[in-house]
Structures are given as C-alpha cells and as structure tokens.
Amino acid sequence: MTTTLEEPREATPSRGPRRGPAAALLRLLKSRETGVALVLILIVAITTLKNPAFLVSGDGFRDLLVTPSILLVVVLGQAVVIITRNVDLSVGSVLGLTAYFVGTLFVAFPTIPVPLMFLIGCAFGAALGFLNGALVAFGRVPAMVITLGTLYAFRGINVWWTGSNRINASDLPSGFLRLGTQQVLGIPVLTIIALVALAIVAWYMHNTRGGREFYAIGSDPAAAELYGLDKTKRVLAAFVFSGMMAGLAGVLFAARYGTINSQAGDGFELEAVGAAVIGGVAITGGTGTVIGAALGAFLLVTINRALPVLGIPDFWQRAVVGALILGAIVLDRVLAKREHRRLIEKRDR
C-alpha cells in the first residue's frame, strides 16, 4: 500500500502542468494565436515593403483595421457556436436582413438615436438567432440543416422585402454614416466597437462558468449532460449570441457602406466559418478561442487585400483562402496527433 501511494507523489511535479511566468511565456509562444498573429504581421510587413501606402497612408491603415471589423464581429458569434459543436450557416443572411431592417427604420424614423439603433439591430439579430437555436435545441435536428434552411429563408425574405430597391447613403443620417469613417486616437470607431465586443466575449469564454460550459458541451455533449449541464439552454444561448453578433455586424455594415441592397452579407457564412477554422476553432467543437478566431478574420481579410499589392491578381484570392483553410486544419490535426503521442509516452514512462 505504501509504495503504491508514494509512486504518484514522486511523479506529480513532472506530470502536472508547469506553472510560473517562464512556462506561461512558452505556452503563449507555442499557441495557435501567436502563429496566426505572426503570419499576419509577416504579410503586413512584406506588403508594406512592397508598397508603403498599404500600411503607412491614412486610408491604408484605416482600411486595414476597418474592413476586417465586420467579419470579426460575425466570427465571434460563429466561434462560440462552433465551440458547442454546432455551426451557424445563416449569419450572412441575418447580417443582410438586419442591415436592411436598420436602413428601413432610419428612412422611416430619421430621428432615432444611433446607439438605440445598435440595440435594435442586436435585438433583431438575436431574435433570428433565437429561431435557429430553438429549432436546433428543441427540434433535435443538426444545426447544419436548420441553418442551411434559414440561410435560404432569411435571404428569401430579404429579397422579397427589398425587391430591386436599395437603401442609399443619402437615406441614412450623417451621424450614423460618420461612424464608418470616424476615428478615435487614430483607430476607427468600428474597429473599437469590434475589439470591445471581442474583449468581453474572450473574457467571458475564458473565465466564467457559463463560458466554460460552452467548451464542455462541445468537447463531449454526452458527458456534459451527465455532469448536469443544461445543454439545451447553452446551445440556444450560443445561437442567440451568434444572431446578435450578425445583427451587430449588419448595423456596422450599414454604417460602413451606406448602400444596402438585398445581397448584403451574401457568402459571409463561409468566410466566418473559414476564419474561425484558420484561427484554431476546430469544427468538431470544444477547442479554440475567440481571440484566435478574430485573428483568423484579420488574416483572411488582410490576405485578400495584400494579394493584389504583391502582384497576384485578385482572381486568385479565393484559391489562397482555400489553401489556407486546408493548411490550417491539416496543421491542427498533425499537432493534435503529436500531442496525443507525447501524452501517451508520458503516461507509459
């Protein structure tokens, strides 16, 4: 008895996760987020060397930050949904429908204060997300099918409602449109909104009980339920949140572009899933961080903008994005396999 008790005690120091600032730094350096960030910095650096206006000019810097912001907000919601082992293909349609709804409200009531409009947009998106979530959670149907259905339905409603109409910049209050170009301390307002949302969600997912429950449900739904977690409630919450973020992105879209036709946000679902996957959020759920997903969004958009500067015709953008997604998931898999082998060796030693 005594020997069996002593053995694990001896092994404990080397088996537990290492602590201390040095180990934390090492973990940070080896993380996926750092890798994506390095690639991002590298691309910006190379492109800037080739054409300084890419970063240094006022417009270049602003575009570099503003263009990814809308995708970033959508990716936040998408990442949370994917972490619960679901997927939300309807985000592009929710974005478009919300953008048109907000534009129509502004045309009808030009005096609505802008912050209230943000709340209305979020609430509208959340309502659409609730519909998705309720169908997935209570209907016991895979999220992919439901959100594929609502992708069609929401877009159809949008086209039906909009017809060949569109909202023009001249229809929107100038205070609202100024948000799209305004800067605070050199940083565009839209980017600040996106980064604040990112900070809140990242903190919530990492530190709170609710956030950890998303991960638990995604990594093993059966075990999570056995443990007593309310899966239905959490999945519903993830979809409501994803809809809310897509709604927010719709408002940002309206502010940034001013023109809203029935095709706003078309194809965003794949960019959002792609960005999350590139950022290390595994499609099988339970792993990845929203910060990684946000970096993935930045990387995706920046590559698209950098390619023409580097002399690669825009037409090849999608091919590069596809190769990037494939590279990222293969890398993930290889690293996971190596980690798995290492853990087994450690256990057997």
Partner 1 sequence: MMSLERTYQDYGHPLWRRWLVNRESAIIVLLIAVLAYASIAVPKFATPATLTYLLLDVATILMIALAMTPIMITGDIDLSVGSMVGLSSVVFGVLFQAGWSIPVAIIAALAVGALGGALNGLLVTRIGLPALAVTIGTMALFRGIAVGLLGTTAVTKFPKEWTSLAKAKIPGTPIPMVMILFVVLLIAFALMLHFSSFGRGVYAIGRSKDAAAFYGVNVARTRLILFIISGVIAALGGIYYTLRYGSARGDNATGLELQVIAAVVLGGVSVFGGRGALHGVIAGVLLIGALSSALRLANVTADVINIITGVLLVVSVVASSLIDWVQARRTKRLNRTSSTPQPATVG
List of residues contacting partner 1 (CB under 8 A): 87, 135, 139-142, 144-146, 148-160, 163, 262, 270, 273-274, 277, 282-284, 313, 315-323, 325-326, 329-330, 333-334
Q: Cβ of residue 322: shortest distance to partner 1, in angstroms?
A: 3
For residue 29, the SS3 value is helix
Q: How far is the CB of 139 from partner 1 (least distance, A)?
A: 4
Complex with partner 1: residue 143 or 251, whichever CB lies closer: 143
Q: Min. distance of Cβ 208 from partner 1 in angstroms?
A: 28
Q: Whose Cβ is closer to partner 1: residue 187's or residue 270's?
A: 270
Output the smallest distance, CB 277 to partner 1, in A.
6
Residue 52 gets which letter from DSSP? G
Measured from the CB of residue 206, what is the shortest distance to partner 1 in angstroms? 24
DSSP result, 86-117: ---TTHHHHHHHHHHHHHHHHHH-TTS-HHHH
> How far is residue 29's CA from residue 33's CA, in Å, rounded to a whole number?
9
- With b meaning 16 or more CB within 10 Å and e meaning fewer, what string describes 80-110? bbbbbbbbbbbbbbbbbbbbbbbbbbbeeee
DSSP string, 141-153: --HHHHHHHHHHH
Give Cβ neighbours of residue 227 (< 8 Å, ≥ 6 apart): 216
Question: Least distance from C-beta 216 to partner 1, angstroms?
Answer: 20
Cβ 99 to partner 1 shortest distance, Å: 17
Identify which of residues 262 and 289 has a Cβ nearer to partner 1 in the complex: 262
| Residue with smaller CB distance to partner 1, 142 or 175 | 142
As measured in angstroms, the least distance from the Cβ of 87 to partner 1 is 7
C-beta neighbour count of 218 within 10 angstroms: 26
Nearer to partner 1, 147 or 191 (CB): 147
Nearer to partner 1, 47 or 162 (CB): 162
CB atoms within 10 A of CB 261: 19
Q: Do 283 and 82 touch, CB atoms closer than 8 A? A: yes
Helices (H) and strands (E) in the chain, counts: 15, 2
Of residues 146 and 193, the one with the C-beta less far from partner 1: 146
Task: Please say whether the beta carbons of 173 and 52 come within 8 A.
Answer: no
Of the pair 211, 274, the CB lying nearest partner 1 is at 274
Q: Shortest approach of partner 1 to residue 321 CB, angstroms?
A: 5
193-199 contacts at long range (C-beta below 8 A, 24 or more positions apart): 193/69, 193/73, 193/248, 193/252, 194/69, 194/70, 194/72, 194/73, 194/252, 197/73, 197/76, 197/245, 197/248, 198/72, 198/76, 198/290, 198/291, 198/294
d(CA 56, CA 48) in angstroms, rounded, equals 8
Which of 103, 180 has the CB closer to partner 1? 103
